[in-house]
Amino acid sequence: WRAAANFICGGAGSGLLVFSALSARTAHTPWLLLLGLALVGAGLFCVWMEIGRPLRALHVFFNPRTSWMTREGGVAMLLMPAGLAAAYGIAGFDWITGALALGFVYCQGRILRAAKGIPTWREPLIVPLIVATALAEGGGLWLLLQSPQAMQQAWLLLLLGAALLARAILWPLYRRRLDGRAAPR
């Protein structure tokens, strides 16, 4: 459950950060950015709790050339201060936060793809599926928590619709490509 919480919270938090960073500055934007950071942080905390010896978590930073988990950790180390700067209102950090949040969820998708021991994750469509799911979940949170202001930002509603459509298309494609390779029922 801890690893799943990392992908659930990290994905939803990243998606929320992307939508919050792209939305016009409103009274809700700072706390939505902080909520997105908290979700990403909660997911990472769950992974840290999964490790038998928590100080071993520092080993995650040792292989940036070969490990997507190392890259995820590096992006997270940049995402947190950038998100705080964006929430504080420092100009330009909204865009940086959105880009880093996309990078974070991309790394999560690549972590799953690199898990050679789980055949269903080796499917190349897992990466776009994870990114589309994160954007759909985060965009849904953004819409739910900022609905009156969201209705005034039609292009973000279109982006949310595109994320939902991509997710709806990718899931059955992913499942179909797994036929014959997944474990028998």
Give residue-wise pLDDT tens across range 15-73: 999 999 988 666 678 999 999 999 999 998 887 776 666 666 565 666 666 777 888 88
CA 132, CA 106: separation in Å to the nearest integer?
10
Secondary structure percentages of the chain, helix, strand, coil, to 5: 80, 0, 20
Band of residue 119 on the pLDDT scale cut at 50, 70, 90 = confident
Residue with tokens 């940049």: 78
CA 126, CA 121: separation in Å to the nearest integer?
6
Question: Is pLDDT of 103 > 70?
Answer: yes
3-class SS at 130?
helix
Q: Which pair of structure tokens corresponds to residue 28?
A: 């809700």
